[in-house]
Structure 1
Amino acid sequence: MQFGIFTVGDVTPDPTTGRTPTERERIKAMIAIAVKAEEVGLDVFATGEHHNPPFVPSSPTTLLGYIAARTERLILSTATTLITTNDPVKIAEDYATLQHLADGRVDLMLGRGNTGPVYPWFGQDVRRGIELAQENYALLRRLWREDVVDWEGTFRTPLQAFTSTPRPLDGVPPFVWHGSIRSPEIAEQAAFHGDGFFHNNIFWPAHHTRRMVQLYRRRFAHHGHGRPEDAVVGLGGQAFMRRNSQDAVREFRPYFDNAPVYGHGPSLEDFTEETPLTVGSPQQVVERTLAFRETVGDYQRQLFLMDHAGLPLKTVLEQLDLLGEEVVPVLRKEFAKGRPAGVPEAPTHASLRALREVPAA
């Protein structure tokens, strides 16, 4: 099972000091966080994609390419690549290039994003978001799997005898996760293609997450990709830790109360009761995360959001020390217990290449 972190790259004032980091400071902080993630033994670093303030990761491949040069083992991913407003041709080229630079340590999570105004900025209609996601991904798959593509669709100009360059490393496209919080059409899309499904359940109660993942698993089997338990599932989560749980609550409360996304809404106590947010000791984070298996079954990837809401870099790096030293080692051991032998591991470039090299029977 893979463990890692994802960032949305928000530039948010620290409510305890009033200071807002510069965009440069925030971008540099994201790099430091990724390097630290590898240092403490995590498997994955994922960045979001946003094109509006107060967010800075508008160019994920630039950021991940730089991180690739600073790391050796870390899998580099996105925590959404906007399949609706990016040209599939550019996605195919950019992420294949990143594959070569990172020696295959690349996958990506496709999604529609949650910012409506981004659609007209890139010449699209938000009311056609699902259609855009479906058509653009169908083209992306062909661009990565066919050397020469003839194609005509609704949302971009036709392609005639087109070859996307560079070709995917070793002839193996990056593994794709389809990320969605609330759209069953995206769970169906992931299932139809036999891809991964990532439910970023940071705002949602367990019963909603269960329904979405169960739908994906059923449809994965329906489309002939294997058993429901063979489906590849990832989850998001949030945590803030101190060794003493009361200290964690006291320190995190002003960040929660003023966060751009959920600040000035439900209380910290209500939010932690209804969603996967865990504020407390490392042991409490372990126990809460292990309970996710009761919701979705055995799964392949767990990512945590830890660098948002104005938390200073020093604090985030301390969180990563706790995650890498006291949480993830226990999670690896406990999740391995009772895991059925047939449950697949999270796909990697090496495992996908090995499958491709197996001769046909």
Structure 2
Amino acid sequence: MQFGIFSVGDVTPDPTTGRTPSEHERITAMVRIAQKAEEVGLDVFATGEHHNPPFVPSSPTTMLGYIAARTSTLRLSTATTLITTNDPVKIAEDYAMLQHLSGGRADLIMGRGNMAPVYPWFGKRLQDGIPLAIENYALLRRLWREETVDWEGTFRTPLEGFTATPRPLDGIPPFVWHGSIRSPEIAEQAAYYGDGFFANHIFWPKEHFIALVNFYRERFEHHGHGSADQAIVGLGGQAFMRRRSQDAVAEFRPYFDVAPVYGHGPSLEEFMEGTPLSVGSPRQVIEKTLTFTEHFGHYQRLLWVMDHAGLPLKTVLEQLDHLGEEVVPALRAELDTKRPAHVPEAPTHASLKAARDGSTGDTSTAG
């Protein structure tokens, strides 16, 4: 089981002080948060990709490469890489380079993104979102798996005798998750290729995401990659903790009420009732998180968003202490005990290499 955090990289005023961090402060804070995640024993740090204010992570591989040089075990991922507006040739080369620099600790979550204006900024049309995702990813897979590619499609110039460099580390492409909050076509794409499916279910009621994950599982089995319960599922999470639950609620409420992603909507209590958001003691976060398997079955990755809505860096680092010292150890013990033997762990570079080479032994660690 992989536990980690993801950051959308928003630059948001602290509603309790009115102070807005600079872009430089926010970028360096994200690096410190990633380092802290490794220090407290988390497995994954993922950064979003955005090309508009108030967000700063426009170049995920630059940031992740920098973090790779300052960590040794942390898996580096995205949330998400825009498969629609990025050139698949550049994705192939950038993430293969990140693989090499990180020693195989890199994977990525592909997605269409949820910012409509980004399409024309990169010469694309919003209405082509699904066809772009399908065509671009089909090309990306070939670029990683074939030494020389001849290709012609609808949305970019043809390729003739093209070789993407560097080649994937050990000849093994980075593992891909497909992220979606609403599109069954993306769940179908993940199932067709036997890739992972990441349901970032932090915004909408769980019933919506239960249906999406179940659809992915059914199609994963239909396409012959294993039984439905062996499909590779990732989930989003969100929490804010203090020793006393009433203190957590009182401290987090002003941040929730003005948060760019869901502020000015349902109340904090309504949002906690309908989504994975947990605000309370570490024990309450553990108990709520343990209910996820009741809704989604056994899954392989859980990423919390912890650093948004203007929360100060000091507060975020305190939240990671709670995760690493109390929440994640309890979840590991409980979830690993209950996981059936035939349900796989999340793929890593080491496990994919071992599977290709016919090796045996423990391949569940990062690498």
TM-score by length of 1: 0.99
**Corresponding residue of 2:65:** 65
Structure 1 Cα separation of the partners of residues 262 and 227 of structure 2: 37
Secondary structure of 1:201's partner? coil
Check whether the contact 1:257–1:264 (CA below 8 A) recurs between aligned residues.
Answer: yes
CA distance in 1, matches of 2:83, 2:338: 37
**Counterpart of 1:35?**
35
One-letter amino acid of the structure 2 residue matched with residue 354 of structure 1: A
CA distance in 2, matches of 1:161, 1:355: 30
Q: Deviations over 1:15-44 (max 9, x none)?
A: 000000000000000000000000000000
Measured in 2, the distance between the counterparts of 1:342 and 1:264 equals 44
Q: In structure 1, what is the Cα distance between the partners aligned to 2:247 and 2:41?
A: 25
Code of the aligned partner of 2:192: F
Match of 2:365 in 1: none
Partner of 1:340: 340
- Residues 168-189 of structure 1 show CA distances to partners (whole Å, capped at 9, x for unaligned) of 0000000000000010000000
User: 2:202 is paired with a residue of what secondary structure?
Assistant: helix
Distance 1:164 1:336 in 2: 39
* Residues paired across the two proteins, number: 359
Which residue is equivalent to 2:308? 308
Structure 2 CA distance, aligned partners of 1:204 and 1:192? 25
| Mapped contact 1:145–1:173 kept (Cα < 8 A) | yes
Deviations 1:195-217 (A, max 9, x none): 00000000121211111110000
Alpha-carbon distance in structure 2 between the residues aligned to 1:249 and 1:24:
30
The residue number in structure 1 matching 2:86 is 86
Match of 1:275 in 2: 275
What's the CA shift for 1:77? 0.2
> Would the aligned equivalents of 1:209 and 1:295 in 2 still touch at CA under 8 Å?
no
Q: Name the residue aligned to 2:104.
A: 104
Query: Hey, what does 2:362 align to over in structure 1?
Result: none
Render the CA deviation track for 1:283-334: whole Å, top value 9, x for unaligned: 1110111100001101100000000000000000000000000100000001
Asked if 1:221 is matched to 2:221, the reply is yes
Please tell me the residue identity of whatever aligns with 1:48.
G
Match of 1:177 in 2: 177
The structural deviation recorded for 1:339 is 1.3
CA distances 1:119-162 after superposition (whole Å, capped 9, x unpaired): 00000000010000000000000000000000000000000000
1:1-150 equivalences under 5 Å are 1-150=1-150
Which 4+ runs in 1 deviate beyond 6 A? Answer: none
Paired with 2:267 and 2:334, the residues of 1 have a C-alpha distance of 31
- The letter for the 2-side match of 1:296 is F
Could you say which residue in structure 2 is the equivalent of 1:354?
Answer: 354
2:206 and 2:168 mapped to 1: Cα distance?
37
1:26 corresponds to which letter in structure 2? R
Contact kept, 8 Å, 1:217 with 1:231, in 2: the verdict is yes
For 1:317, the equivalent position in structure 2 comes to 317
**Matched residues in 2 for 1:212 and 1:289: separation?**
19
The 3-state SS of whatever aligns with 1:70 is coil
**C-alpha separation between the residues in 2 aligned to 1:53 and 1:207?**
31
Q: Distance in 1 between matches of 2:262 and 2:296?
A: 25
Please name the residue that 1:292 is paired with: 292
Give ranges in structure 1 of 5+ residues lacking alignment: none
- The whole-number CA distance in structure 2 between the counterparts of 1:261 and 1:109 is 20
Aligned position for 1:199: 199
- Give how far 1:358 is off: 2.0
Distance 1:261 1:88 in 2: 28
Identity of aligned residues (%): 77
Q: Which amino acid aligns with 1:306?
A: M
Residue 248 of structure 1: CA displacement? 0.1
Q: How far off is 1:261 after superposition?
A: 1.3
- Aligned equivalents of 2:275 and 2:231: distance in 1? 24
CA distance in 2, matches of 1:193, 1:346: 15
Q: Distance in 2 between matches of 1:356 and 1:334?
A: 31
Residue 190 of structure 1: aligned partner = 190
Distance in structure 1 (CA, Å) of the matches to 2:15 and 2:77: 30
Q: Is the 1:43–1:73 contact (alpha carbons within 8 Å) kept by the matching residues of 2?
A: yes
Q: Secondary structure at the match of 2:338?
A: coil
Structure 2: gaps spanning 5 or more residues:
360-367
Greater CA drift, 108-117 or 199-208:
199-208
Paired AA for residue 63 in structure 1: M
Q: Is the 8 A contact 1:12 1:310 kept in 2?
A: yes
Query: SS of the residue aligned with 1:253?
Result: helix
Deviation at 1:229, TM superposition (A): 1.0
* CA–CA distance in structure 1, aligned partners of residues 59 and 102 of structure 2: 16
| Matching residue's letter, 1:36 | K
Tell me what 1:235 maps to: 235
TM-score (norm 2): 0.97
What value does the CA root-mean-square deviation take over the aligned residues?
A: 0.7
